[in-house]
Amino acid sequence: MTITYFEIGRIIVEEEQNGKDRAEYGKQLLKGLSQQLTKEFGKGFSVRNLEQIRQFYIIFSKSESLNRILQIQKAQTVSAEFKSQKTQSVTAEFNKPDYQTLSSFFKLTFSHYIFLMRIEDEKERRFYKIESEKNNWSVRELKCQYDTALYTRLALSRDKDGILKLSEHGQIIEKPKDIIKDPYILEFLGLPELHQYSESQLEEKIINKLEQFLLELGHGFTFVGRQERISFDDKHFRIDLVFYNRILRCFVLIDLKIGELKHQDLGQMQMYVNYYDREMRLEDENKTIGIVLCQNKSESVVKYTLPENNEQIFASKYKTVLPSVEVLKELLENK
C-alpha cells in the first residue's frame, strides 16, 4: 500500500508539473483523481488523503538514502546494458525506482510515514525512520519516542560526527557512552515536577512502570533486580536497580538520587562498579557500567570526580515532567 501511494504521489506531481497553472490544475487534478479512484477502489482516496500522498512523495523522493539506492540501481542497469551489448541509451526511466527498490526503502506502514512527514529536520526524520524499522515500533511507540525528544537527547551527549551517525544509521551501541541519555524522561511515573518524594518512592514508581522504564533506557536492557545487596567487611550496601545490557554484554547499575549530585554519590557508584567487576562479572563479559540518576548535577563535580579516561561511570539528570522540544533543541544548539 505504501509503495502504491508513493507511485500515485509521483503521478500526481508529474501531472501537476505539466499543468500550465499548477495551483489551479493541482486542485482539479486531485478532485478528479479522487472521484475516479474512489469509484474504482472504494474508500481511502479523498482529496485530503491524496494531498497527503502527494506530500509523501515530495518529501521522501528527496531522501538521500533513497537516492543512494537509485544511484546503485542506475549503475547496475547501465552495467547490464553494456554486458548485453545493447545500444539503446540510458533513459530517465532508470531514475524511476522499481518495486524491489522501493520495498527495500519503505519498510513501515503509511501511518508511520504520515507522522514522519511532520518532522521538518531531515536528519531527525531519518533517525526516527531507521529506529522505527530496527525496533519494530508501532506508530504509538514512534510518537512516544518523538514526544520525549529521543533524537535530541541522544544528540546532546554526542559530538558533530556522532550526531551525523545518528541521522544516517540510528543509534549504534558499541561502547558504554552510546547507551547514555541526558536527561532521562520519566514523565510516565506521574510525579509532578516539584513534588516531594523519597528515593525509595521514586524506585517503587519505576518498578511499577518497569516496561516504560526499559523503553526509556533503550536498546538491549533486561531487568536483573532491585535493592541488590553487596557485602564485605561486615558492611552491607544496596544498589537501587541492576540491569544487564545484552548488546554491550555487561551489567548496568543505576543509583537514584534526589536533589543535587554530590561527589560522594559518584564515589559510591565507583565502589559498586568495582565490586561487580571483581566479584560478579564473568570472564567473557565486559566491564560494568554505573549510572547515577539525579535531579540536578554540576558538570564540574562530574569532571573532577571521575578520571579523564572514564568509560564506566556516568551521571545523568532525570525529568519527571517533559521539557519542551524547543528547550532541548536550544540546549543542543548551545552545546
Domain ranges for the chain: 2-60, 176-323
- The pLDDT, as a whole number, for residue 96 is 59
- The pLDDT, as a whole number, for residue 291 is 97
- In eight-state DSSP terms, residue 182 is S
Residues 314/291, Cβ–Cβ less than 8 Å: yes
Asked whether residue 88 carries a pLDDT value surpassing 70, the answer given is no
Angle at 114 between CA 108 and CA 116, to 5 degrees: 75
Q: What is the pLDDT of residues 117-129, one digit of tens each?
A: 999 888 899 999 9
Among 24-33, 53-62, 95-104, 254-263, the minimum mean pLDDT is found in 95-104
- The pLDDT, as a whole number, for residue 293 is 96
Asked whether residue 232 carries a pLDDT value surpassing 50, the answer given is yes
Among 93-97, 185-189, 243-247, 290-294, the minimum mean pLDDT is found in 93-97
SS3 of residue 228 by DSSP: strand
Give the C-alpha separation, 315 to 267, whole Å. 12
- The pLDDT, as a whole number, for residue 94 is 42
Beta strands at 235-245 and 250-260: parallel, antiparallel or unpaired:
antiparallel
- The pLDDT, as a whole number, for residue 254 is 97
Residue 197 carries which side chain, given as an amino acid letter? Y
Among 55-59, 74-78, 164-168, 176-180, the minimum mean pLDDT is found in 74-78
Q: What is the pLDDT of residues 157-200, one digit of tens each?
A: 777 777 778 888 888 888 999 999 888 989 899 887 656 788 99
How many angstroms separate the Cα of 207 from the Cα of each of 54, 82, 165, 242, 293?
Answer: 45, 63, 33, 12, 15
Contacts of 7 (CB under 8 A, 6+ apart): none
Architecture of domain 176-323: 3-Layer(aba) Sandwich (3.40)
User: For 266-274, what is the mean pLDDT?
Assistant: 96
User: For 267-272, what is the mean pLDDT?
Assistant: 96
Task: Beginning with the edge strand found earlier in the chain, give each strand of the sheet holding 235-245 in spatial order.
Answer: 184-185, 313-319, 289-296, 250-260, 235-245, 221-232
Give the C-alpha separation, 180 to 157, whole Å. 8
Asked whether residue 77 carries a pLDDT value surpassing 60, the answer given is no
Higher pLDDT, 91 or 26: 26
- In eight-state DSSP terms, residue 189 is G
The neighbouring-strand residues paired with 198 are none
Angle at 85 between CA 83 and CA 86, to 5 degrees: 120
The neighbouring-strand residues paired with 221 are 245
Contacts of 311 (CB under 8 A, 6+ apart): 175, 176, 177, 287
User: For 235-260, what is the mean pLDDT?
Assistant: 95
Residue 53: other Cβ atoms inside 10 A: 27
Band (130; pLDDT cuts 50, 70, 90): very high
pTM: 0.72
Higher pLDDT, 24 or 91: 24
- The pLDDT, as a whole number, for residue 230 is 93
Give the C-alpha separation, 175 to 169, whole Å. 16
Residues 119/152, Cβ–Cβ less than 8 Å: no
Q: What is the pLDDT of residues 205-223, one digit of tens each?
A: 999 999 999 989 988 999 9
